[in-house]
Amino acid sequence: MDTRADIRKPVRLATCAMGTRFEFVLLGDDDRLLQAAGEEAIHAIEDTHRRLSRFEPGGPIYEINAQAGEAAVRVDDEIFELLERCSNVRTESSQAFDVVRRAAETRLRADPALNMDKTQRTIGLVSAGKMIDLGGVAKGFALDLAAEILRDSGITSAFLHGGTSTAIAVGHPPGADAWAVSLGCDTETKTHRGIAMLADTAMSVSSQDGDRPGHVINPATGTPASNARWAACIGASAEATDAWSTALIVRGTRPCAMPDGLTSVVEINDSQDSRTCAAIGPEKSCIVSAVGCNPPDHQVSICSGVHL
């Protein structure tokens, strides 16, 4: 086996987009290929920021919001299909995940806020007082695009994350079967939550702890979600795990309609304020139960920075 990748330093790239920092670690024996593919993937992240941000004039999401209640906006297939998938997650999660911000008097309604025309490829908000905010899914969507670019370029070993809360692994590191990803520590008990082993897999975490307490909002109430303190989702798509980790922390339980291909881990408080953490799904074996132990050396920490 060619071991040149084992002794070369990784190529590292980073960019700031979507209000956070994206970091790539690329491994291989051709630095020029790694650099070129990495720069193309970074460009995709930055372009996705412009397309999905509700603050970027001229971007499709900005234009849809600007035309709320008045007119639909034609979008490309990628944006249309993204919003279709978001609508599906909203339904499957019983509205625990919603990319549409609604006025208080309409939050509990089940009626759709988006008018989506498949034939014309147009999207419109049905009334004023609503807006699309893709903050709960945009990082995952961008990371999926970046990982696809790397794979198409022949990169077989890479780790990408956005804001340390959503990550995707391409292949595995040389000499290991998977990337070891720390699930971080409980801020109250100071115990380590465990390790996830990722190979060609994505993972997202959502938390009401840390430096942004209470930032996950329940779409039904407009107030901080209170059913869980922390949740993680593991699956093939960073976009899907990004959306579902948000839904999990809002619900505090795994919905029956959650796709079987996703693993869920939810940390809740019961009436005695004790911790309950359970992994459910086909990939649960990739989560190493390590509550109370020290994290291993050379891990990737998805909650408190990347360490390689």
**How does pLDDT run across 177-230, given as a tens digit for each residue?**
999 988 877 666 667 777 888 999 999 999 887 666 667 888 888 888 888 888
Q: What percentage of the chain exceeds 70 in pLDDT?
A: 78
Which string of DSSP letters, residue by residue, matches 129-167? Answer: T-EE--TTTHHHHHHHHHHHHHHHTT--EEEEEETTTEE
How far is residue 105's CA from residue 171's CA, in Å, rounded to a whole number? Answer: 47
Q: Which of 220, 111, 59, 47 is nearest to 67 (CA)?
A: 59
Q: Which of 137, 139, 136, 133 is nearest to 20 (CA)?
A: 139
Across 118-144, average pLDDT = 95
Q: Which of 169, 176, 160, 173 is nearest to 199 (CA)?
A: 169
pLDDT at 190: 66
Q: Which of 149, 135, 147, 146 is nearest to 245 (CA)?
A: 135
Quick one: CATH architecture of 165-301?
Roll (3.10)
**Do residues 136 and 14 touch, judged by C-beta distance below 8 A?**
no
Ranking 32-41, 98-107, 250-259, 283-292 by mean pLDDT, the lowest is 283-292
Q: Which of 258, 267, 278, 263 is nearest to 93 (CA)?
A: 258
Residue 265 has pLDDT above 60, yes or no: yes
- Give the pLDDT band of residue 172 (cuts 50, 70, 90): very high
Q: For residue 193, which phi and psi values (nearest 5 degrees)? A: -75, -25
Q: What is the DSSP letter of 61?
A: H
Residue 228 tokens read as 């869980």
Across 239-247, average pLDDT = 96
Residue 203 tokens read as 């993972």
Domain ranges of the chain: 60-132, 165-301
Sign of CA dihedral 205, 217, 136, 16: negative
Across 24-41, average pLDDT = 97
- Give the pLDDT band of residue 5 (cuts 50, 70, 90): very low
Residue 288 has pLDDT above 60, yes or no: no
Ranking 59-73, 212-226, 227-241 by mean pLDDT, the lowest is 212-226
pTM beyond 0.75: yes
- Give the pLDDT band of residue 158 (cuts 50, 70, 90): very high
pLDDT at 234: 94
Residue 276 has pLDDT above 90, yes or no: no
3-state SS, residue 54: coil
For the chain, the average pLDDT equals 83
Across 283-308, average pLDDT = 40
pLDDT at 220: 82
pLDDT at 304: 32
Q: How far is CA 81 from the centre of its chain?
A: 17
Residue 270 has pLDDT above 70, yes or no: no
